Amino acid sequence: MAKIKALKCKECGREYPVEPLHVCEFCFGPLEVEYDYDEIKKNISRDKIKKGPVSLWRYVDLLPVENPTVGLNAGFTPLVKAENLGKELGLNNLYIKDDSVNHPTLSFKDRVVAVALSKAKEFGFDTAACASTGNLANSVSALAASAGMNCYVFIPSNLETNKIIGSLVFNPVVVAVDGNYDDVNRLSSEVANEFGWAFVNINLRPFYSEGSKTLAFEVAEQLGWKTPDAVVAPLASGSLYTKIWKGFNEFKKVGILEENEKMPRMYGAQALGCSPIYKAFKEGRDWITPEKPDTIAKSIAIGNPADGPYAVKVTRESNGDMEVATNEEIIEGIKLLARTEGIFTETAGGTTIAVLKKFAEKGVFDKDEVVVAYITGNGYKTMEVLEGHLNKPIHIKPTLAEFKEKVVGQTINK
């Protein structure tokens, strides 16, 4: 346990033992894992990382797990140099961190769940649970199945059909709650009070959320132990975004990055129909006014984002900015990434690309700056949002004549 000292309240600094706790008993502030960075610095090196597993577990020295047992193939997803999209946006060094192909359930949630359930096993839990907008439920269901744990997932009942099927196939108990994600979250908090389950994003949240740091570690390693100049990432609860920032900073703190390595500017993306963090940032507030979400980007539709205040702070500190995308812009963002880079993302990724485009058009990036956009989920899970927005197949009889008339005539030399 040498690398972890305690859990510590981010607000008042009170310390707690390393247990499945997530709230400070005194001020209700969130608890965070407190590491012994001097100890970690002695153990970690670029060479050791490179020799580690081809997964997020190569960074285990900076994760709150002693013995990884769940999600052993999660992470280490491609960092794609986006030449075509870069050309359209006037950016010579644009990269896509592509977590749409994460293992095993095709979203960044496989990272946080790998960490949370490995920790849950260490604590001796036999039942996994979560409150989810879909991707997390998929990941918890799959990884709990592989870990031989019982599983309960709580989702809003209006989720995309494929995301529900994508959990059910692993045979968890799926609880579809009449309400939005914030209702599901509130209910799950109360359930977590009563039942001794490993709620990955509630009582295991201090450990769970640390998994997102690996999105920063991987990008830095894939860029040749460098940070990007700018990062564009989606904002839902604000946790992923703040942990990416923390990851880059930690990598520098333990000597993996050069001492003079500059930290990236952080750019946050929200859907216009659910943008409480964006509004707090733009209005110069430190607190979040909750909203009732109304957007097609359901995976990031959190109206009461608990890490919102921290996301606002990180954006200010890093000299970044935030933007919003309309439903139409989100669809266009999905299509733009698919058309230029051959990557099919879901609505959260569409939001990120739409916002990346807005910032590029505003000229906030120098054309040679290294810009990384985080694509956190897969489009095959939310295909229904594209209905009516794509070309139709060309139907023909199996004859050459019809092929020439209907296909060649309409698509070649057009």
In whole angstroms, the minimum distance from the beta carbon of 29 to another protein comes to: 5
Where on the chain is the footprint of another protein (CB under 8 A)?
10-11, 22-32, 182-183, 185-186, 189-190, 193-194, 201-202, 205-206, 208-209, 237-239, 242-243, 245-246, 249, 287, 289-290, 292, 304, 306-307, 309-311, 314
Q: Are 135 and 159 in contact (CB under 8 A)?
A: no
Minimum distance from residue 153 beta carbon to another protein (Å): 16
**Residue 26 or 380 with smaller CB distance to another protein:** 26
Within 13 Å and on the Cβ side, how many CA atoms surround 341? 28
Q: How many Cβ atoms are within 10 Å of 400's Cβ, its own excluded?
A: 9
| Tokens of residue 329, six digits | 């812009």
CA-based angle 127:129:131, to the nearest 5? 170
Neighbours of 226 (CB within 10 A): 15
Nearest approach, Cβ of residue 208 and another protein (Å):
7
With respect to another protein, which residue has the nearer C-beta, 58 or 246? 246
Q: How far is the CB of 205 from another protein (least distance, A)?
A: 4
Min separation Cβ 353 and another protein, Å: 24
Q: Which is nearer to another protein, 142 or 244 (CB)?
A: 244
CA distances from 33 to 37, 167, 205, 384 (A): 12, 29, 10, 39
What does the alpha-carbon distance between residue 376 and residue 388 come to, in Å, rounded to a whole number? 24
- Angle formed by the axes of helices 308-317 and 239-253, nearest 10°: 50
In terms of CB distance, is 145 or 176 closer to another protein? 176
Tokens of 208: 């769970």
- In three-state secondary structure terms, 123 is helix
Q: State the minimum distance, in angstroms, from the CB of residue 143 to another protein.
A: 19
- Of residues 21 and 72, the one with the C-beta less far from another protein: 21
**Which of residues 290 and 409 has its CB atom nearest to another protein in the complex?**
290
CB 370 within 8 A of CB 93: yes
d(CA 365, CA 225): 21
